[in-house]
Structure 1
């Protein structure tokens, strides 16, 4: 059984959890370590299982908590060397592990595939995470989906997929022109319509769950994103990843998927972490 959860998703911070009964990894740590651990605890996710953190690119909404997370939990923080060089010095982890494009990284029973992509960062990546026969993709911050993204996305049973903006809201909104052009460029973000096209044309019949992610506060709404995807709702479950709280935990097995029921938890539960 595999559990996935969007701990945070949006321009104010991003973090995605993928774990089984023994091991878990995070993709991005764009909010504070304190908030990540708090939200995981509220969802019934055991942070003591975390074995690695993967960073997609150097923007602060993706690695704000990376240094403290690596130090607090004594787990490796993976990123590309160019991402490390491009990050603010105070956000850089103490002992990063660098990967290269097409490299496969083993974390216990997980295999993590870095997926190079188009975004306005030094060396941006998305990730496909495989556990046994289950593949989970974290695909956000993509200006235009290249063949590499489409290939890895097509293998996934579950996706965190960017659906950042509604075209009409963006072009008629309050952003200055240069920022509108940047968001809509081939190194910006995916619109609702672009996300729909990817899901409609480049996924397999085994896709069971999509979390629409990195939804803009100013240029999109949850309702518009869901409305765009409505024609696909009979093919797979469609959920929203929030910028303000963790999503529901979704459980995946080899042939099925469902939302996890979180029991009432005792108060004052203490998580065990090494001190620093």
Structure 2
């Protein structure tokens, strides 16, 4: 099993997941050219992607979708309201645009979307199962509901939002309406929210966690990692044994996670 966060943040999001020789993308918010180049570096081919899973219609999650579908004829899956609200929907080939059901088998991977709280049409996270392995992705949400907590539990690998430091956001340059949106239950998770969610999550013996969608304006990678690590440690979690934290970046591929 391999997880590679190709890009994460407000400028674009895309995650490559390979399980049991099934190759998936979660979101395509960077250019198709950059996705291809990133996959080339990993020894993978964009034309071999078995499916693209779309969390929601915001541009930083779908910017590369038009070229990917037109050039490579890849199947993409999203909720009906997500397709309807997508700015580029009219340019996409109809045969590539698939409706996302409550459960879907792609190759040897079972895909189960779950609803999240975000200011989009019908946003979802994903949990993916193959054999005895589970990967979960939840990168844009303002509040962790019991449904989300249950969906994330017992993941081997978790790509999870740690968007902002609350003090940096409140004291930063963003206009107040934008700050209010980010802080709302339909906005984005703070570092402390991520830390306490992970601390209270029902986990396997060892979980890899990618801290994702970090704000370039209102966060720093080392601050996100330190905040989450401090909370986990105070709650008795052994870093590197119970949980291993990985950082993600807007302009480069995150550290490779190979979990067997």
Q: TM-score, normalised by structure 2?
A: 0.92
Instruction: Name the structure 1 match of 2:133.
Output: 134
Cα distance, 1:132 vs structure 2? 0.8
Alignment of 1:1-276 (within 5 A): 2-20=1-19, 22-89=21-88, 93-95=92-94, 96-100=97-101, 103-230=102-229, 231=233, 232=237, 233-234=239-240, 235-253=242-260
Q: Is the 8 A contact 2:19 2:109 kept in 1?
A: no
* Residues 161-215 of structure 1, C-alpha deviations (whole Å, 9 max, x = no match): 0000001100010011111110010000000000001100013134421110000
* Residues 191-247 of structure 1, C-alpha deviations (whole Å, 9 max, x = no match): 000000110001313442111000000000001101112224242110101111111
Q: 1:80 to 1:54 in 2, by over 3 A?
A: same
Which stretches in structure 1 are left out of the alignment for 5+ residues? 254-276
In structure 2, what is the Cα distance between the partners aligned to 1:84 and 1:31? 18
| SS of the residue 1:150 aligns to | helix
| SS of the residue 1:148 aligns to | helix
Cα distance, 1:92 vs structure 2? 5.5
In structure 2, what is the Cα distance between the partners aligned to 1:132 and 1:70? 29
Q: Is the 8 A contact 1:33 1:65 kept in 2?
A: yes
RMSD over aligned CA atoms reads 1.5
In structure 2, what is the Cα distance between the partners aligned to 1:161 and 1:99? 21
How many positions carry a matched residue from both structures? Answer: 250
In structure 2, what is the Cα distance between the partners aligned to 1:247 and 1:64? 20
* Residues 36-71 of structure 1, C-alpha deviations (whole Å, 9 max, x = no match): 010111123333431000100000000111122122
| SS of the residue 2:217 aligns to | coil
In structure 2, what is the Cα distance between the partners aligned to 1:207 and 1:218? 32
Q: Is the 8 A contact 2:16 2:24 kept in 1?
A: yes
* Residues 113-172 of structure 1, C-alpha deviations (whole Å, 9 max, x = no match): 111110000100010111111110111100001111100101311011000000110001
Deviates more, 1:39-48 or 1:163-172: 39-48
Which stretches in structure 2 are left out of the alignment for 5+ residues? none
In structure 2, what is the Cα distance between the partners aligned to 1:113 and 1:140? 16
